[in-house]
Amino acid sequence: MITNQTKSNRSFRPKGWVGHPLGIALVLGFLICFPSPSGCCAQDAPVPEAETTTDSKASFQSLLDEQKENTRKISRLYASMPIGVVRAQIDHRNQINTLQKRNQQIAARLEPTAITELRSSNPPDLQIVNFLMLRVKNKLDGKNPRVPFNPPEAIELLEVLETIEVKLPDLTSYIYYANLLSNRFERARGILDQAVKRGFKVPASTLPQLESFEQQWQPELVRRAAEQTADNLPRVLLETAAGNITVELFEDDAPNTVNNFISLVEAGFYDGLSFHQIDRTFACQTGCPEGDGTGNAGYRIACECNELNARPHFTGSLSMAHSGPNTGSSQFRIAKQPLPRLTGQTTVFGRVIEGMTLIYQMGVEAPLERTQPPSNRILKATVIRKRDHAYVPEKIEDNKPESCD
């Protein structure tokens, strides 16, 4: 429990994020109900719902009603699925697929429509405010299977919500958490400092943990700036049915791991492989020819995670997946959030520079036609830039199956 040391009527209650995959004490201790930037506290009385009749409100409400009705229809279709009649089952499934596609189209329109209404109504419509706050929560906890975990998108919604004169419990803690998960540690620091200035007691573990992030992030920023100036690191394009992901490889810091990755890409090893392990908030993992995490490239490579210049794990980092020291091969993961517990255990060899939204989206599958490949499959991997030398890894020959964590 975090409490204000001077004002007893502005106490903070824990938000209940215990068990979230971030797994670090500062988040668990700091995710509390801060007052909104307007100075209102979480215990203030709710603002009465505004009465609005604008076209954007009607559009938002009609979309919401249609989505709910489609969901009810889908439930009825599943409940009435014919048994043993193949043609009738196909008809049912086609109807379900059509309704699911429509609901996905509606979901894509709900947020921008709600934002438009929120900006045009005075006072703000409480139903829309609550909807957007729920979307923020969904984008940060990853528990809604229809809403992808996506902290940067949560930040965009929070920036809108910050501008309205409504008393919003949890707003500031959501802002802190979203920035923390998006590698925006300077902004997270500003939120923390603001809380301290307001007189709120912060758990003892929070500041040291944030400082640990900052100590790793500042050198990382210096490296990234130098890499941007040099503009010569290798890059690989991963094509999927949902779009393309471009990754930049840290050849200067993990040369053998990069040699290994590029050699496998150029051999077509990753073409057709799926992201077989998808955690909604942790990471997406691929590179297993067996599709279940037990396969490899027929050899192993040594870890480079304990070198002096080893890179830390941040959101968007590519790191090797293995079953122990020096057992990496072909499998790798892309982090959806900072993963400090993996630093020093697995080799970071690159980062996503384009297409991170597709990584967040994995695990929230849209209804697809039978002929369309799933969005979590790499259709083709292509080296789009490399330095002028051969990329040949030093191998540890080993054909034993592996189970990568």
pLDDT tens-digit readout, 141-156: 999 888 899 999 999 9
Residue 397's pLDDT band (boundaries 50, 70, 90)?
A: confident
pLDDT for 40: 34
User: Do residues 358 and 242 lie in contact, with contact meaning Cβ atoms separated by under 8 Å?
Assistant: yes
Q: How far is CA 378 from the centre of its chain?
A: 19
pLDDT higher than threshold 50 for residue 23: no
Rounded Cα–Cα distance for residues 347 and 317 (Å): 10
Exposure string (b/e) for 389-400, b if CB count within 10 Å is 16 or more?
eebebebeeeee
Residue 363 has pLDDT above 80, yes or no: no
Q: What is the mean pLDDT of residues 175-183?
A: 93
Would you state the pLDDT for residue 122? 84
pLDDT digits (tens, 9 = 90+) for 114-141: 999 898 888 899 999 999 999 999 999 9
Res 403: pLDDT: 57
End-to-end CA distance of the chain, in Å? Answer: 35
Answer whether residue 24 shows pLDDT above 90: no
Q: Where are the domains of the chain?
A: 25-209, 232-397
What's the rounded Cα separation, in Å, for the pair 364 and 189?
Answer: 31
- Note the pLDDT of residue 287: 96
Better-scored residue on pLDDT, 86 or 387:
387
Separation of alpha carbons 346 and 327, rounded Å: 10
pLDDT tens-digit readout, 293-348:
999 999 999 999 999 999 999 999 999 999 999 999 999 999 999 998 898 999 99
Residues 201-246 pLDDT 10s: 777 887 888 888 999 999 999 999 999 999 999 999 999 988 999 9
What 3-state class would DSSP assign to 111? helix
Label residue 400 by pLDDT band (50, 70, 90). Answer: low
CATH number of 232-397, picked from 3.40.1710.10, 2.40.100.10, 2.40.40.20, 3.40.50.10490? 2.40.100.10
- Which pTM was predicted? 0.81
pLDDT recorded at residue 327: 94
Write the pLDDT tens digit of every residue in 27-69: 434 443 343 333 333 333 333 343 444 445 568 999 999 999 9
- Is residue 230 within 8 A of residue 221, CB to CB? The reply is no
Q: What is the pLDDT of residue 120?
A: 87
Q: What is the pLDDT of residues 274-293, one digit of tens each?
A: 999 999 999 999 999 999 99
The torsion defined by the Cα of 161, 166, 170 and 176, in degrees rounded to 10, comes to 40
